[in-house]
Amino acid sequence: MKIVVLDGYAANPGDLSWEGLKQLGECTIYERTAPDEVLDRAAGADVLITNKVSLDATTLEALPRLKYIGVLATGYNIVDVAAAATRGVVVTNIPSYSTPSVTQMVFAHLLNIAQQVQYHSEEVRKGRWAASREFCFWDTPLIELSGKKMGLVGLGHIGQAVARVALALGMEVCAVTSKSALQLPREIRKMELDELFAQCDVVSLHCPLTVDTRELVNARRLSLMKPTAILINTGRGPLVNEQDLADALNAGRIYAAGVDVLSTEPPRADNPLLTARNCYITPHIAWASSEARARLMDIAVGNVKAFMEGKPMNVVGME
């Protein structure tokens, strides 16, 4: 069994081991693969492992030996799953591996915005507290989250984990979800999307990127939000119209945003969020804790092993 990893660096920049995968067959691991290198590197492979390298219908047609594609992520939009299904190629993903880490990042952003941790730490280093006449120093609003409404767009594994933490902080939790109100815990109130944006103090995005959810955060929906509201996006960059969000932040129509994902990654230098007021950006690292990546690697190996044993798991795109 010939196994080729097209872009292993992001998941394993060297602190984890590929040994589990190597035990399953002849294994070649590339840190990165450019689009014009895919066909040469994938030629003859039975198993392809990819994170962000795209595998479209034309590419799949040129790989007649290919039997399996393992995506090193939960999202699998980089693979033409319909074309893969037509050719009998099994595609798998890695579900739920990053739930604790992404949940942690949601609140890292939210608590930083609420308490202005980064800002005040920097001001202390500048000597402003040492120069203060008072025993304490602050010059921005400090926000208590208890009693505030947390609105979740999506209530999958991550959305549910975020809800539990929000409840522990004393927040009220509302959610846009396909689940019926009767299926929800009594602590979570089901809302429609516009209602949630209008009523909640914090809106956190946890839905997949689809035709219907692309740019669900836009000028109209931002206009519904409170001027004190906070938007958190650890989901997918294109869920947000970035120019509309930048305009809303700069005009003070909403208070702040914390985002871990952008529409293009790495971002273009002219991305409007890079200079927007009260916009806090982390470089798509919510998923990347050592623990989460170790789980990802273990599940990836398990997926390949299950496929080889004729019992594939975490299969996507084959209804």
**Which residues are known catalytic residues?**
236, 265, 284
- Given strand 315-316, what is the order of strands in its sheet? 26-29, 2-5, 47-50, 68-71, 90-92, 315-316
CA distance 312 to 265: 31
CA distance 296 to 302: 10
